Structure 1
Amino acid sequence: MATGQRWGRLLPALLLLLWRDWPLCTADHCSWKGSGLNWEPRSRAVEQVRLRCTEGSLEWMYPARALRVVLAPNLASIQHSTVCIKPMSDFKGANIYVEREGELHLLVSETDEARLQHVHCFASDRPQGVALFLQASPQRDISRRTAGFQYELLSNLSTAPNFQITLVEAMCRPCDNAELLMAVCSSDFVVRGSIKNVTHEPQHHMSQVDVLVEKVYRQKNRIFQPEEFTGEWTGPIKTLLQCRVKKGEGDFLFTGNEHFGDAWLGCAPRFKDFQMIYQTAREQRTNPCEFQLN
């Protein structure tokens, strides 16, 4: 067996042994930014970072030795039990391992483009949260490299081993009336508009719906904005390729949630159909919230 192969198999076990034996430098934040250059060359300390919010990010510049990251959001209920991470687009300088039942498993390799483009999710139903190890890669020079990721707590993906597979069930299934009424009350964005274009990205298993916006009722961040030259309000909404979204005529009410800075499609009825559903619910006093139709 080649030396590189033996080292690749021994590395996860060595990381666990070092973590148990070495002293720790600790930090506790929603987001963390640090540099391996700040560590003492002869220090045996392994820095531990505990990220305890529902979303945030980690940015490790000039990676050196190892970093242990615990994702332990303060869970509001047992339904909030899935944590997902998305590697940075320019991820370099380290590999990420996830700890499962006392063993480390390779999650993200800086040389594996496919893994770098995926969102990775973990069950987080244990009080101690999910532990990740970032192991710095050997470098011959001091050029800047950054290993980082965004993380987010996803309340509706309690048993998801895979972010995209789980979203198929939630996103491709048509919403019933009760789900639709709740969506306009609780979604990150609620927008009325028409479909300007639909593009498919088979390599990423995604589709993008470009919306020409007539009215923004609510948005968490500024995904829907006026274009510089035309002044028209537009914005992109992502969905899964498996949902087979097609361009349709007329006005729709687009709802959904934001994940890692992108808008993901939820319920999207034709606006005239939503008007009828909402008016009926209001007359029967079953609408969960007030919504301004005009």
Structure 2
Amino acid sequence: MLPSVTVALAILVLMLFKAVTSQQYSTDLCSWKGSGLTHESHLRDVEQVYLRCSEGSLQWLYPTGALIVNLRPNVLSSSYKYLTVCIKPFKDSKGANIYLEKSGKLKLLVSEELPNPNKVYCYSSDQGVLFIEATPRQDISRKITGFQYELISQRAVSNLYTVSASCRPCSDTEVLLAACTSDFVVRGVIQGVSHDSEQQESVIDVSVARLYKQKSKIFQPVQNGVRWLGKIKTPLECGVRQGEGEFLFTGSMHFGEAGLGCAPRFKDFQKIYQEAKSKGLNPCEISTD
């Protein structure tokens, strides 16, 4: 082999090795994980992170310097400006403050000093990008800043995180749409309701006789698949109590948990659906047997 070729190959190998060893972060379109230790000697470094999914997570180990996090849907459109970004910090998230940054101005969103891991923080997509700044400290060991995120419509956010919207009874039209478009739709009975004042939520234990659909496996089969069991959450202020009889439970999945939407008694849903079907107004086909 010619000496010049040998030298060129050696340089190429060295460049590839350097590129691999200098790789600071692991990322895909939805989630990002990195470590501040990779640029510890440059404490004021600012790294750019781009995520292109409707939901995912970020985990920053040993945070130093800062991150600018750009969250966008995979397909950009004019409707993007009507999206809302919601983040839910991990339980033990520490080591950084999270701001909204727009035109060089910072607005505190999540403080390291007053974390609330059960709170969901939401903002409009046109309010800026996330600026995550590590808090100065001598010992950064055991510090991890992280959160889950979701991009959802502003209308959905108002229904999810506004107590009055979550608690009010659904209209007939809303019931029909919920049965067709919800992340989960099940027919079942309430086995029990527990209330958690610290988390400000009620948890409904549901025994399901008919599983129409579920986005995630929140309802697990029992009795050889004859029935399913699962938990649905709703704000404590709604004052949910155990009721007799069968219900049609609908709702949405957010941050891995099932949130209650419309939940009419099944006999009432049957009546609503049959009336709509007789007029050709049912938005989808669903068995009411």
TM over 0.5: yes
Alignment of 1:144-155 (within 5 A): 144-155=142-153
Q: CA contact under 8 A between 1:28 and 1:50: conserved in structure 2?
A: no
Q: CA contact under 8 A between 2:44 and 2:66: conserved in structure 1?
A: no
Matched, 1:112 2:110: no
Unaligned runs of 5+ in 2: 1-24
The worse-fitting range, judged by mean Cα deviation, of 88-97 and 252-261 is: 88-97
- Amino acid corresponding to residue 250 of structure 1 in structure 2: G
Report the CA distance between 1:265 and its aligned residue: 0.6
Matched, 1:206 2:201: yes
Report the CA distance between 1:102 and its aligned residue: 4.0
Tell me, in whole angstroms, the C-alpha distance in 2 between the residues paired with 1:158 and 1:271: 24
Q: Secondary structure at the match of 2:178?
A: helix
Taking only the aligned residue pairs, the percentage that are identical comes to: 54
Alignment of 1:194-233 (within 5 A): 194-226=189-221, 233=228
Q: CA contact under 8 A between 2:84 and 2:123: conserved in structure 1?
A: yes
Tell me, in whole angstroms, the C-alpha distance in 2 between the residues paired with 1:43 and 1:209: 47
Report the CA distance between 1:155 and its aligned residue: 1.3
Tell me, in whole angstroms, the C-alpha distance in 1 between the residues paired with 2:103 and 2:239: 38
Alignment of 1:1-294 (within 5 A): 29-39=29-39, 41-42=41-42, 45-73=45-73, 74=76, 77=79, 80-99=82-101, 102-113=104-115, 115-124=116-125, 126=126, 130-141=128-139, 143-157=141-155, 164=161, 166=162, 168-226=163-221, 233-294=228-289
Number of residue pairs aligned between Structure 1 and Structure 2 = 263
State TM-score, norm by structure 2.
0.81
Q: CA contact under 8 A between 2:43 and 2:65: conserved in structure 1?
A: no
State TM-score, norm by structure 1.
0.79
Report the CA distance between 1:211 and its aligned residue: 0.7
Report the CA distance between 1:41 and its aligned residue: 2.1
Q: Which residue matches 2:12?
A: none
Report the CA distance between 1:119 and its aligned residue: 0.5
Report the CA distance between 1:43 and its aligned residue: 7.8
Q: CA contact under 8 A between 1:84 and 1:152: conserved in structure 2?
A: yes
Q: CA contact under 8 A between 1:72 and 1:130: conserved in structure 2?
A: no
Unaligned runs of 5+ in 1: 1-24
Give the aligned CA root-mean-square deviation in angstroms: 2.9
Alignment CA distance shift 1:59-1:224 (3 Å): same
Tell me, in whole angstroms, the C-alpha distance in 1 between the residues paired with 2:208 and 2:67: 44
- Amino acid corresponding to residue 58 of structure 2 in structure 1: L
Alignment CA distance shift 1:214-1:156 (3 Å): farther
Tell me, in whole angstroms, the C-alpha distance in 2 between the residues paired with 1:182 and 1:254: 13
The worse-fitting range, judged by mean Cα deviation, of 266-275 and 221-230 is: 221-230
Tell me, in whole angstroms, the C-alpha distance in 1 between the residues paired with 2:100 and 2:214: 34
Report the CA distance between 1:42 and its aligned residue: 4.0
